[in-house]
Amino acid sequence: MSHDASVASFIWCKRRYAISQASVIPRPEHNISRSLISEAALRVLYRLLHAGYDAYLVGGGVRDILLKREPKDFDVTTNARPEQVRQIFRNCRLVGRRFLLAHIHFGQEIVEVATFRASHNQGEKGGIMEDGRILRDNVYGTLEQDAWRRDFTVNALYYNLRDFSLLDFGNGIEDLRAGILRLIGEPCSRYKEDPVRMLRAIRFAAKLDFKIDSDTETPIKKFAYLLREIPPARLFDEVLKLFLGGKGLQTFELLRHYDLFTELFPRTEKALVSQKNQILFNFLSHVLSSTDERISAGKPVTPSFLFAALLWEPVRYEARRQSGMPMLEALHFAADHLLQEQIGRVAIPRRYTLQAREIWFLQERLAHIRGRRHSHLLDHPCFRAAYDFLLLRVASGEDVHSLASYWTQLQLDKGIFIDNPAFALL
């Protein structure tokens, strides 16, 4: 983004959201209290304040408390530089290249601390941009400039431990009460700066059950292709947040609506569009709703099962194209080819692709039930995941009901407990 475009975007933002003049919401007018903040986050805030720095609780933790939800984690922002934060906390690690952050460890809990950031044309040197996209973003600034750099108004709310007030730089409280997700700044420029903001818009809309503001949603389909410029490793992290956050099914539907899913899983989207029946859509819907139910119940889930489901139809289609090759061998060939193509978009780690492959191969092995030797498959480490996968194929309308019944009865005959709902962990 050029200097003129950046300045124009900043002025537009100030005019629309009064970003440089925060509304101060005193303690009696909001529901945030120290009792709702983790002890670790409070310790970080107090120590930074006692060291003479400014420090605020910001982001999702503040937003979720205001919505009377249990925060997943707490983030802190400060005018202390990352190196200064590390000097204060022995249990601190500096992480990230694109954004240099301080992670302060308290047992299993990590409090993330970020230094106030500014626009590349307003703060110090330390940022790198290319064709409007932020490649590196260690540009430090003031609290007001930091608010401008936040993505959505509902995430630009700062809790001040000094007087327990809330600072609102972008009418975030109004949007929070109205259930509206609105980008701070001119949407086209913000999406070009970081295309992942489009995925975050979908994730927060699904998670919070918010409506996306019309100005925020309008450019998404137009700029969906920009996700191809994002490193596949970063998109893997985003995919986990999208589909394993408890709102996977709703997220899936929104991603498809805004033409973002095809940028993440192009072969799967092609299969969804080309299929005349609803079996694949039903299958993915059942997988994602089952995942959402497990997460809601506090049960663990595995990315391997998710990726096995998302890529199952493309792998099977590719295998069927290998004429004259036994199906199991064809599946091996197809898995190699498809996964190599897929990691060019979303870099799925090998530990997950290995388990996904086993689920696929077992679908073929479970289909051969003649003789007695097949019962040894019950001892396969991935049998339960493959069996649950098979049950979800049945639920989607695929004609494998008799096969699933056979493997269900065989387990019952051997005294193996089968819990319900379907899918288990690897």
Q: Which residues in 204-232 are b (16+ Cβ under 10 Å) and which e?
A: bbbbbebebbeebbebbeebbebbeebeb
Distances in Å between the Cα of 361 and the Cα atoms of 72, 139, 352, 385, 401 are 36, 49, 14, 12, 18
Measured distance CA(382)–CA(373) in Å, rounded: 17
- N- to C-terminal Cα separation, the chain: 46
Residue 168 bears catalytic tag = no
Q: How far apart are CA 196 and CA 279, in angstroms?
A: 30
What are the residues facing 136 on neighbouring strands?
128
Could you tell me if 10 and 148 are in contact, meaning their C-beta atoms sit under 8 angstroms apart? yes
**Catalytic residue (choose from 64, 137, 151, 194):** 151
Per the annotation, the verdict on 213 as an active-site residue is: no
Nearest Cα residue to 348 out of 238, 201, 225, 223: 238
Q: Is 399 a residue of the active site?
A: no
CA 29 vs. chain centroid, Å, equals 32
CA 72 to chain centre: 13
Residues taking part in catalysis? 73, 75, 151
